[in-house]
Amino acid sequence: MSPSWLMLLHANTYLWEYPLDLLPLVLLAIVPARRILRDAGALADEAPHPFRGETPRARHRPGRPAGRPMRWASFSPVNGPTGFPRLWAQTRRVSRYGAGTALIVVDVQNDFTDPDGSLYVPGGEAIVPVVNAEIDTATAAGARVVYTQDWHPPSTPHFAKDGGRWPVHCVAGTAGAQLYPRLRVVGPIVRKGISGEDGYSGFFQRDPVSGETVATCLDADLRAAGVARLVVVGLAQDVCVKDTALDGRRLGYDVTVVRAATRPVERCPGDGARAFAELTAAGATLE
């Protein structure tokens, strides 16, 4: 047998019989390697785990601004672990839907969504991809998708020109009343404000003069389909989305409003924040 094979056999026998003798050498090799990996940012041993709830601690590393937290050093219930908001949003979307859930897409219409619309909601067009993602996830999970649509007559006490609050918008049959062309439509549409009512909620219409309310078909249709939980998105967050979600809570549904899939019109500054506070107080979930 050659000397090289004898040396290999001897070394193998030694390792088998005396493994602890080499432990200090192994540790001497591991510790510097670990320090190098840590300093390079690949080993986040000093960063708190995002799901344990510890207070995040920033740590300076070469090439990283002092005080900046590490990739896993913070966690948000809305955006998830730092650096993974898209994956977290997808996970949250999937968990929202099931056979007993309905996605209510509120008034994503040209007059609200298009910058040239008569009652444009700032940023309204930006929510359409988010709403479409919710629609895709809901349909894949077997959930029901329902759309609401303002459908006003040319003259109504709802409009400022007739003594109401709002500029003329979403007049039946006009381009402004149509659903936004980039919105994915896969379910039934509930029209509101047809006879001049204030069609703020998808569940009820209110006569702006007498105050009398009339139910739409939405609640009856949802109950017939066995729906117990609503996810509400659309426009505007501080008007029709808020009123639809609040009426959903009053009718006994579990209600979730997706923050990223709605925008406020804010006729008065702070209306959006007040709407979210009112929804929270009513027991709705904001995600």
Residue 116 known to be catalytic: no
Check 198, 240, 242, 247 and give the catalytic one: 240
What residues have CB less than 8 Å from 148, skipping those under 6 apart? 104, 105, 106, 107, 189, 190, 191, 192, 202, 218, 234, 240, 244
Residue 107 known to be catalytic: yes
Residue 268 known to be catalytic: no
What residues have CB less than 8 Å from 185, skipping those under 6 apart? 147, 179
What is d(CA 286, CA 52) in angstroms, rounded to the nearest whole number?
Answer: 22
What is d(CA 202, CA 190) in angstroms, rounded to the nearest whole number?
Answer: 7
Residue by residue, what is the 3-state secondary structure of 129-177?
HHHHHHHHHHHHCCCEEEEEEECECCCCCCEHHHCCCECCCCECCCHHH
Check 107, 111, 238, 247 and give the catalytic one: 107
- Name the amino acid, one letter, at 280: T
The size of the chain, in residues, is: 287
Are 188 and 120 spatial neighbours (Cβ–Cβ below 8 Å)? Answer: no
Check 150, 170, 192, 219 and give the catalytic one: 192
Active site residues: 107, 192, 240
